[in-house]
Amino acid sequence: MSLVTALPVIIDAVVKAIPKIINGIITAVIGAIPLIIDAGVKLLIALIQNLPLIITTVVKAIPQIVGSLVNAIVGNIDKIILAGVQLLVALIANLPAIIAAVVKAVPQIIAGLVSAFTGYIGQMAQVGGNLIKGLWQGISDAGAWLWNKISGFFGGIVDRIKDFFGIHSPSTLFAGLGKNMGEGIGVGFEDAMSAVSLDMQNAIPTRFDVSTGGVSGQDGAVSSTNITQNISVVTPKALSEKELAREFKNLSRKLALEY
């Protein structure tokens, strides 16, 4: 009762003494800073020096710590399961309230997201532009690299084909092929013309009707003779005027020799 009665006086005295107390604490702390620093350094040095012993002691105590933890968990596993069941039941029971609170908070969440994205649209646009520019620069650099690779690839293939066929400039292989092709065309043309000539010869009649005019003179010489000859030419293909003229010329020579 005396303490309770004297409490206002005690509080008043304490309040009056607080500035002196704070000043005394500050003065003591400031005065003791060197000692505190020295004590901290000594404590740190002692910890470092005793670190191997501390680690060894902790390692030795690990089995006891793990065993205690396991025993505590196993000994209280029924309580842990019961607590989990109670937590799940409480969550289910309060699920409507939780969903209602989440639904109420959705507008605020969306508004916060929209505000955040809106505030950074300019930066996102700049980042997107830099990304596209970087991609285009990378594609351009890769294009030059790819062109070099493709040109080198096809150049190597062309060189290998030339080496395989013995092609030089001009190509000796295809020069020979061209020569053989020209000679083959000539042989084929000669064979075809021989067949045309043979057909023309077979088409020409070998018997002719000869009409003789009047005969006069002591020696009985024939004064005039007229010969009419019809020639039909059959060819497997159309011939030009020069080819026909050449064929008729050859036939005329053969007829002159035969008759």
For every residue of 141-205, DSSP letters joined together read HHHHHHHHHHHHHHHHHHHHHHHHHT--SS-HHHHHHHHHHHHHHHHHHHHHHHHHHHHHHHHS-
Q: Is residue 210, in this structure, part of any structural domain at all?
A: no
Q: Which of 86, 108, 135 marks a domain boundary?
A: 135
Domain boundary among 91, 118, 135: 135
% of the chain surpassing 90 pLDDT: 0
Last residue of a domain, one of 19, 35, 63: 63
Question: Does any domain span residue 199?
Answer: yes
Cis status of the peptide bond prior to 170, with omega within 30 of 0 = yes
Question: Distance between terminal CA atoms of the chain?
Answer: 178
Of residues 229, 191, 196, the one with CA closest to residue 210: 229
177 within domain boundaries:
yes
pLDDT in tens, 150-182: 877 777 777 777 677 666 655 565 666 667 776
Helix (H) or strand (E) holding 33: helix 2-49
Note whether residue 84 is domain-resident.
yes
**Mean pLDDT, residues 73-100:** 87
Give the chain's domain count.
3
**Planar angle of CA 108, 113, 116, nearest 5 degrees:** 120
| Residues of the domain holding 12 | 1-63
Query: Is position 220 within any domain?
Result: no
Residue 14 has pLDDT above 50, yes or no: yes
Residue 226 lies in a domain: no
Alpha-carbon gap, residue 246 to 252, rounded angstroms: 10
Span 113-154, pLDDT tens digits: 888 778 777 788 888 888 888 888 888 878 778 887 787 777
The mean pLDDT value of the chain amounts to: 76
Q: Are residues 57 and 17 in the same domain?
A: yes
d(CA 63, CA 177): 93
Residue 71 resides in a domain: no
What pLDDT sits at residue 214?
46
Domain match, 100 and 184 both: no
